[in-house]
Amino acid sequence: MARRKDIELSMGQSSEVSVSTQLMEEQMASSLALEDARAKQPEESPYAKTQTTEYVVFKLVNTNRKGRCNVDGIDDVINPKTGKMERIRLLTGIDTIWQSEQKEISADYVKQNRRSLQFEGKYLRIPKWDTSALEYARTCRSFIESPTYKQRGSRHAFFEWNPARMAEEKAKLNGKKMQAMRYALEAKGDKMKQHAYFLGVSPVDEIGIPKNDEAIGNDYFAIAERDPVRFLESYESPKVTVSFQIKKAITEGKLDLGRQQGSVYWAHNGGFIGQIPVGQNAHDYLIDLALGHTKEGKNFLSILEQISS
């Protein structure tokens, strides 16, 4: 009987080609079997999502930090539902981070299955299917939007990297910048100068020569471009006018700050205005007094307006 090898030779085929073909067929069958196995995995399984896994990205606030940073997987935080301080733990195999909901878990299990948030090169990627890690990241004190961070802070502060949200916020900031710059261009005279001084523009240059209106306007416009939020928050605020009037009264010697330490008097008649609280400067104290709703504050503002006109 003819051997298979002889038949293959008579047909112009080599045994090496046959073996190679068989190997290719086996590899193809193996690949198909693997694809079938993946298709049968639960939809939310990380194995099934190997090729299409989506991530939520977090970034450290301290961009100068280098290397790896670990945020501990156990923390005491404010529970947004109760407003009380509670402990959270990020544990492998446990689908809740709240210790009060983690029933019948031994100390040894916690020790063996305790997880942490690991930042590499300032970034942390968490798969969307890892819901416990995501909840922990958004709840722990290091997340800058958590109530606990706002109350206690953290040395490993981080935020959620959201390009769409960042683009939206940048568009809003650009809108505010355009508005502030337009106001700065339109403002003239005393109104412009009062607001400029309130924002920190100096009335004199670096060698003490008084600036003209154009120079003050240039500095005013630069602040509107650089810090539009602060510019708009104080634009046309009563605080601006009162602040200018107080500084003017102090400069012209109409307010006496030297008679007694920590006290303010009217210079023209020696009338007592108020006692400056410890840790507050005279200017800020007088602004709060003038804009307050006390009888003394209303009286102070009335006299201040009279001597400023």
Per-residue model confidence as pLDDT tens digits over 16-62:
444 455 555 555 555 555 555 555 544 444 444 445 789 999 999 98
Predicted local distance difference test score (pLDDT) of residue 176: 96
Final residue belonging to a domain, choices 236, 256, 272: 236
Q: Does residue 46 lie in a domain region?
A: no
What residue type is 151 in one-letter code? Q
Q: Does residue 18 lie in a domain region?
A: yes
Q: Does residue 49 lie in a domain region?
A: no
What residue type is 164 in one-letter code? A
Q: Does residue 266 lie in a domain region?
A: yes
Measured distance CA(189)–CA(172) in Å, rounded: 29
Predicted local distance difference test score (pLDDT) of residue 50: 47
Q: Does residue 285 lie in a domain region?
A: yes
Q: Would you say 99 and 89 are in contact if contact means Cβ atoms under 8 Å apart?
A: yes
> How big is the chain, counted in residues?
309
Predicted local distance difference test score (pLDDT) of residue 23: 54
Q: Which residues pair with 91 in a beta bridge?
A: 114
Which of 63-86 are b and which e, b meaning 16 or more Cβ less than 10 Å from the residue's Cβ?
eeeeeebebebbbebbbeeeeeeb
* Helix residue ranges per DSSP H, the chain: 4-10, 15-39, 107-113, 131-139, 147-152, 163-186, 189-198, 213-226, 228-234, 238-251, 282-291, 295-308
- Nearest residue to 255 via CA among 281, 233, 294, 221: 281
pTM above 0.75? no
Predicted local distance difference test score (pLDDT) of residue 8: 45
Per-residue model confidence as pLDDT tens digits over 80-117:
888 899 999 999 999 999 999 999 899 999 999 999 99
Q: 303: how many CB neighbours lie within 10 A of its CB? A: 17
Same domain, 81 and 126: yes
Final residue belonging to a domain, choices 161, 182, 207: 161
Number of domains comprising the chain? 4
Same domain, 221 and 301: no
Q: Does residue 95 lie in a domain region?
A: yes
Contacts of 79 (CB under 8 A, 6+ apart): 85, 86, 98
- Tokens 């240059």, located at residue: 205
Domain with 298, as residue range(s), is: 238-309
Backbone angles phi, psi at 38, to 5 degrees: -65, -40
Predicted local distance difference test score (pLDDT) of residue 45: 45
Same domain, 168 and 232: yes
Predicted local distance difference test score (pLDDT) of residue 148: 84
Predicted local distance difference test score (pLDDT) of residue 269: 87
Final residue belonging to a domain, choices 142, 161, 180: 161
Give me the residues of the chain with pLDDT under 50, please. 2, 4, 6-19, 41-50
Predicted local distance difference test score (pLDDT) of residue 308: 86
Backbone angles phi, psi at 215, to 5 degrees: -65, -40
What residue type is 180 in one-letter code? A
Same domain, 221 and 248: no
- Region of 14 (left: φ > 0; alpha: ψ -120 to 50; beta: rest) is beta
Distance of CA 2 to the CA centre of its chain: 81
